[in-house]
Structure 1
Amino acid sequence: MRILVLDTIHGGAELAGALRGAGHQVDEVDVYRGKAGIPIEEALVRTYNRVTAPVHLDPDHLLLRRHGSAVSHHEMVQWILGGRLPHPFIEITGARGKTTTAHALATLLPGPGILHTSTGTYRYPERELLWKRSITPASLIPAVREAERIGGWLVAEESLGVTGAGDVAVLTSAEDYPIAAGKKRAIAEKCRLLAWAPAAVLPPGIGLAGGVAADGVVSFEGEICRYSGNGVSGSFENPLSLLAGYRIPLMLAAATACVLGIDPAPLGRFAALPGRMAARWEGGVLIIDNANSGTNMMTTVEAARYARELSGNAPLTLVIGEEARAVCEGFCPEDVRRTVAAVRPAGVVYVGEGHPAATIDAGLDAARVITPAGAIVLAVKTWR
């Protein structure tokens, strides 16, 4: 089959390689930079059996107008994977909460397995780091093959949707934003792809035919989480349940476990992850680390509230910005300004392009200088 792969930056090159490995003739086009693959002009005059494009590509791109509708990278990955799949296989997507939900689920699954996240891909139960890559749809392929090789499970984060190849798909957030040159909505695209999954677990605020509403299975009362669904019922207690950034992931993980027939009681021992509200003291300074790929205004306001609670309302320095650009889920300057206004910190260190601090480490160093005592909140959008 002759296939055209659009966008070599966001997993397209890996996708093209997998298709070639399967025996197909493949052309690839770097639609954003024009540096890799063949030129657009050449792809315009060729004929293809199938075209695949990321969900965030402008639907009016010249190549899509010329060759007709394309299947998404997510759908193409499902086609490549075929029937060779690990079990259970859980796919996780959403604007925020993916990594926390994924790590929480991995603590519940017995035996060997693979956890594929934006923080890295790990082999369980050793928690050995295998590699660090993106969470584009194409990056799922080696994770699936490794999980299949060891005869284990797979829990995988994916950006902007799921392949539908897993046993369960989880949406972590109802948050929406425009994609594809403003011509599509992220939540609509995610739900379209979730509809192909055998089972879908949904956050509060999202309705999808056949989906399992997590808040219909799980409820909270302070630190106590109660769950009942699919013949599994019980409760656990975890102080992280008091934090919005953990309450929803714990809810989703518990509901997904119930769908799989697994008791989520061990989530009572689940601890905060680095970059996701992890707290530590450096002498007289409290540092709340909330710098991750899902950092936004809401999580930053929550982190600041948490810091003030733990520090006794001490002066707070906010380290904020965007170290690494996330294609469709960035932390734009206007949102950063609104966040600073909402938090009202005693001091601010801006991180990113055009600022003295280009990295999160540089931002933290600068914050230490101006914060001899009190609290520092790291709220930098970055891949860690």
Structure 2
Amino acid sequence: MNKKDILISDANHGGLVLLEEYSKYTNNNLFFYDIYNKLSKSEKEEWENKTGVKFLSINEILEDEDSFIKINPVHMPPVIKTDYTHHEFVAYLLKKMTPDDLKIIQVTGVKGKTTVTTLLKHVLSNYNTLVLTSAELTYNNKILIEKLSITPASIITAIKKAQDMKILDDVDYCIFEVSLGVIPHGYINILTNIIEDYDIAKASSSASIAKESVFTSQYTICDFDAYKKYYSQHENVIRISFDDENADVYADKVDYTIKSTSFNIHYFDRTLTMTQFALSDFYVMNLLFAISTALIIGMDIGDISSNLESAAPIEGRNSFRYINDKLIIEDINPGLNTTSIKKCVENLKKYGEDYLIIVGGDYGITCEEIDEEKLCNFLNKINPNCIILTGELGYNLKKRLKSDCSYFKKLGDAIEYCENDADKKLIQIIYRSEYNSEIKYFKK
């Protein structure tokens, strides 16, 4: 049998993890395209010695592109064709690494991935769970690895860690947060929303196209708005809405308070009553995804409610704290976009009209950059005395807004001003960043 030429791309987004694992199972010729030139000459030599791979330039690939089987990230610029995405290749590798009956729950979406995955960790705490989020990899709440990415290749890293610790056979459920879609098939796939459909792969594709892979699982749970707009051709889907009675699962009689919110859940022909922490419509939706997953598994609603009650609010994800006599609501999230920021402000009005919002953050932390023009159009409708800008994003917004708003270079300085000098009692932080990099500003 002739050997095949396998070309794997992108050292920035997990390509080397895939290369290392695949090299254990194949005699095919291995090639690698380091599209972003991440690796040094010595690092390439190390990988060549380790796996037998040969690194190629784009010109070398294009000389005979069709001779390669090309494995690329779903969002990679289309400088070469793609035969299999990283998501698809991870599914292939998992067949070699895991038992056939391993139950994998995957969570993807534009907003809410980390929160839903974390809620599922708490809801399913009666089981042995291997959980991957943008913050960490855990097994039964014990941290195994900190600060993993949520590229599909991190699933390989998670499984390898479980193998090394000899716990994989004990895992009841894997719960994986995954960016830009899911690995095909699996047990339960969850699509939280597509509140903004952004371009990927140099505008040759989009988030909605990439995330359509969720419809390959035994059970698929999908945001009803996304389903209606992008995916209505798919059948056997559990559709979730905040308040649309045409969905399979929805909520009503929602009564918000700071420390707990009560609501009814309509789950097909069942009506259930819950009281849980939830400051916003978004958070109620996240709860609906987690609760629906647990009901599919067959959990009792009493156990679901009890497990959720023992879960602390997820810091930085629509959480809150009191500092002196001021209420601070925190949304610190790398995936915040204009639509989610608008919803944060709308939600704030549930708790009072006398508020300040701190808006800002960083660039280059997700595949989706924020639409500054669209955000400015929204912020221009708000009293500028209620807006404080911060960070790189805040600096650029200040230059574009019609009215002059207060600006602080550092988030910590903006918070300190709100705590000590501003007379507003209600403060909403909306900041595009990884929460761990900013949490030091809140410690007292």
Correspondence 1:179 to 2:200? yes
Partner of 1:18: 21
Aligned match for 1:366, one of 414, 419, 425: 414
Structure 2, unmatched stretches of 5+, are 41-54, 241-246, 255-261, 397-407, 436-444
Q: TM-score, normalised by structure 2?
A: 0.74
**What is the rounded CA distance, in whole Å, between the counterparts of 1:88 and 1:220 in structure 2?**
32
**What is the rounded CA distance, in whole Å, between the counterparts of 1:34 and 1:145 in structure 2?**
24
**Which secondary structure does the structure 2 equivalent of 1:364 belong to?**
helix
TM superposition shift of 1:92: 0.8
The answer to whether the Cα contact below 8 Å between 1:137 and 1:159 also exists between their aligned partners in 2 is: yes
Q: How does 1:76-95 map to 2 (within 5 A)?
A: 76-82=89-95, 84-85=98-99, 87-95=102-110
Partner of 2:285: 248
Cα shift readout 1:312-348 (whole Å, capped 9, x = no counterpart): 4334042323355201x22243244234335545232
**What is the rounded CA distance, in whole Å, between the counterparts of 1:353 and 1:30 in structure 2?**
30
**Which secondary structure does the structure 2 equivalent of 1:26 belong to?**
strand
Partner of 1:73: 86
**What is the rounded CA distance, in whole Å, between the counterparts of 1:226 and 1:317 in structure 2?**
31
**What is the rounded CA distance, in whole Å, between the counterparts of 2:94 and 2:16 in structure 1?**
17
C-alpha distance 171-250 of structure 1, shift in aligned 2 (>3 A): same
The answer to whether the Cα contact below 8 Å between 1:7 and 1:29 also exists between their aligned partners in 2 is: yes
Partner of 2:276: 238
**Which secondary structure does the structure 2 equivalent of 1:8 belong to?**
coil
Cα shift readout 1:86-116 (whole Å, capped 9, x = no counterpart): 7431011110111111111111212321111
Correspondence 1:333 to 2:372? yes
Aligned match for 2:220, one of 200, 204, 208: 200
**Which secondary structure does the structure 2 equivalent of 1:302 belong to?**
helix
The answer to whether the Cα contact below 8 Å between 2:250 and 2:266 also exists between their aligned partners in 1 is: yes
Task: Give the AA of the match of 2:411.
Answer: G
Q: How does 1:281-360 map to 2 (within 5 A)?
A: 281-310=322-351, 312-327=352-367, 329-345=368-384, 346-352=386-392, 355=395
Cα shift readout 1:206-254 (whole Å, capped 9, x = no counterpart): 032222213403433212232435x9874322251x6122121111112
The answer to whether the Cα contact below 8 Å between 1:322 and 1:331 also exists between their aligned partners in 2 is: no
Task: Give the AA of the match of 1:53.
Answer: N
Identity %: 24
TM superposition shift of 1:132: 1.4
**What is the rounded CA distance, in whole Å, between the counterparts of 1:188 and 1:138 in structure 2?**
20
**Which secondary structure does the structure 1 equivalent of 2:358 belong to?**
strand
Cα shift readout 1:18-52 (whole Å, capped 9, x = no counterpart): 22233354322122447564321223346755211
**What is the rounded CA distance, in whole Å, between the counterparts of 1:209 and 1:244 in structure 2?**
26
Task: Give the AA of the match of 1:217.
Answer: V
Partner of 1:31: 35
The answer to whether the Cα contact below 8 Å between 1:233 and 1:263 also exists between their aligned partners in 2 is: no
**Which secondary structure does the structure 1 equivalent of 2:131 belong to?**
strand
C-alpha distance 306-226 of structure 1, shift in aligned 2 (>3 A): closer
TM superposition shift of 1:278: 0.8
Correspondence 1:377 to 2:428? yes
**What is the rounded CA distance, in whole Å, between the counterparts of 1:195 and 1:13 in structure 2?**
28
**What is the rounded CA distance, in whole Å, between the counterparts of 1:271 and 1:224 in structure 2?**
19
The answer to whether the Cα contact below 8 Å between 1:319 and 1:363 also exists between their aligned partners in 2 is: no
**What is the rounded CA distance, in whole Å, between the counterparts of 1:369 and 1:95 in structure 2?**
32
**What is the rounded CA distance, in whole Å, between the counterparts of 1:313 and 1:330 in structure 2?**
30
The answer to whether the Cα contact below 8 Å between 1:169 and 1:201 also exists between their aligned partners in 2 is: yes
Partner of 2:298: 261
Structure 1, unmatched stretches of 5+, are none
